[in-house]
A = this chain, B = another copy of it.
């Protein structure tokens, strides 16, 4: 556990960074929710404040003045233990509280926390604080991907800013890393450092011999799959993947457009010609799987990925694995609302490993387990082959 003044500094930096991410936005951009998976930026700003108010300030700070009694209803995400909340599908229907009011709320909470932390806090509270900080870092990533969705699905295709680099290429040759059969240790093992409960317990797994690519699949490789008719060759797909392709008329990754016969990609810097050497992004698990089938390879399991990860370059794409999101042996969720953080999603989702260009600094690590439903594509999701 870091010392309290380090934590306090980290808290303030995190709060500020969240606000900086929103600087390029128009007020209107803070409000909309074009699909259920995307939340309005002002909701992220409020929700990350509510987390500190609900779990630290309300129960622990003497004489804490709640900013607005209705905000708990507006900014609770999914915590059943904490009471009623706005339906997730309705977040984009709320024009109020206004963006200005949400920033006031943030300031109110940040200041109250600063004051509170200055007095020193118990270890229990330090732990919740650390969760709160990492929780906000997660929402920083969501902010970026949600903003990309909001702008990138607007018919005017406005850019976010001129400097956000989504596509750092991997300028080296593809090679296969060979890994031996045997017992490997999986899960978090640095007690002094933060991790989520789903990274524990550290435990042994037995892996067969396998090979894993040192490089992510690129746009140009995926283009070959498209041009070879990959989206219509039913033998490559899971049955429900094929349904998804047909129902949604999927023909390419999200944000890809053909304009006058040429492939383009919407990026946070605006619409660009497709960068062929960039790592592929914005694909569903179904697409990742079908591509791997087509290459007569497969996706790695999360255990294979973790065991080999220090031999390759990672961190610009969340990488789909073949592993379902399940509890590790001995997994125990925390009691009460904090326990709702991870455990209740451990069914019908896939694990992603790595991190992405949108991930906040120091937020990911080799044992980090991200997870999403198999059809989702609005994150910077990519893929690495194994065999």
Interface residues of A (CB under 8 A from B): 26-34, 42, 70, 73-74, 78, 80-81, 86, 90, 92-99, 150-151, 153-156, 158, 183, 203-206, 208, 210, 234-235, 237-242, 285-286, 289, 298, 322-324, 326-327, 329-330, 339-340, 344-348, 374
Q: Within the assembled complex, what's the spacing in Å between the Cα atoms of A198 and B88?
A: 39
Known: A93-B33, A154-B94. A99 touches B28 (CB 8 A): yes
The residue from B154, B234, B285 contacting A80, defined by CB atoms under 8 A apart:
B234
Q: Are B322 and A326 in contact (CB under 8 A)?
A: yes
In the complex, which residues of chain B have a beta carbon less than 8 angstroms from the beta carbon of A34? 90, 93
- Measured CB to CB, the closest approach of chain B to A36, in angstroms, equals 12
Known: A238-B344, A238-B347, A347-B238. A32 touches B93 (CB 8 A): yes
Q: Are B86 and A344 in contact (CB under 8 A)?
A: no
Q: Which residue of B lies closest to A181 (CB)?
A: B204
Q: Within the assembled complex, what's the spacing in Å between the Cα atoms of A80 and B232?
A: 11
Copies of this chain per assembly: 4
Q: Are A155 and B73 in contact (CB under 8 A)?
A: yes
The residue from B183, B238, B326 contacting A346, defined by CB atoms under 8 A apart:
B238
Q: Which residue of B lies closest to A375 (CB)?
A: B348
Q: Within the assembled complex, what's the spacing in Å between the Cα atoms of A289 and B344?
A: 11
Q: Which residue of B lies closest to A93 (CB)?
A: B34
Further 6 A-B residue pairs, CB within 8 A, beyond A80-B234, A92-B93, A238-B347: A28-B31, A28-B42, A93-B154, A242-B344, A298-B327, A348-B348
Q: Which residue of B lies closest to A154 (CB)?
A: B96
Q: Which residue of B lies closest to A343 (CB)?
A: B238
In the complex, which residues of chain B have a beta carbon less than 8 angstroms from the beta carbon of A80? 234-235, 242
**A-B pairs with lowest CB-CB distance, top 3:** A324-B324, A34-B93, A206-B206
Which residue, of A80, A86, A242, A329, has the highest number of chain B Cβ atoms within 10 A? Answer: A329
Q: Are A28 and B150 in contact (CB under 8 A)?
A: no
In the complex, which residues of chain B have a beta carbon less than 8 angstroms from the beta carbon of A298? 327
The residue from B78, B90, B98, B289 contacting A26, defined by CB atoms under 8 A apart:
B98
Known: A31-B31, A237-B344, A347-B374. A96 touches B208 (CB 8 A): no
Q: Are A86 and B155 in contact (CB under 8 A)?
A: yes
Q: Within the assembled complex, what's the spacing in Å between the Cα atoms of A334 and B243?
A: 22
Known: A34-B90, A238-B346, A347-B240. A158 touches B96 (CB 8 A): yes
In the complex, which residues of chain B have a beta carbon less than 8 angstroms from the beta carbon of A324? 324, 326
In the complex, which residues of chain B have a beta carbon less than 8 angstroms from the beta carbon of A323? 326
Q: Are A29 and B154 in contact (CB under 8 A)?
A: no
In the complex, which residues of chain B have a beta carbon less than 8 angstroms from the beta carbon of A92? 32, 92-93
Q: Within the assembled complex, what's the spacing in Å between the Cα atoms of A288 and B304?
A: 30
Q: Within the assembled complex, what's the spacing in Å between the Cα atoms of A93 and B151?
A: 10
Q: Within the assembled complex, what's the spacing in Å between the Cα atoms of A28 and B74?
A: 16
In the complex, which residues of chain B have a beta carbon less than 8 angstroms from the beta carbon of A183? 183, 206
In the complex, which residues of chain B have a beta carbon less than 8 angstroms from the beta carbon of A78? 239
Q: Are A26 and B96 in contact (CB under 8 A)?
A: yes
In the complex, which residues of chain B have a beta carbon less than 8 angstroms from the beta carbon of A33? 93
Q: Are A97 and B156 in contact (CB under 8 A)?
A: yes
Q: Within the assembled complex, what's the spacing in Å between the Cα atoms of A237 and B81?
A: 13
Known: A86-B155, A96-B156. A28 touches B30 (CB 8 A): yes
Q: Which residue of B lies closest to A237 (CB)?
A: B344
- Measured CB to CB, the closest approach of chain B to A192, in angstroms, equals 24
Jot down 18 A-B pairs with beta carbons below 8 A, ordered by A. Answer: A28-B30, A28-B98, A70-B155, A74-B156, A80-B234, A80-B242, A81-B234, A96-B151, A97-B156, A204-B206, A208-B330, A238-B344, A239-B344, A240-B347, A242-B344, A285-B347, A347-B374, A348-B348
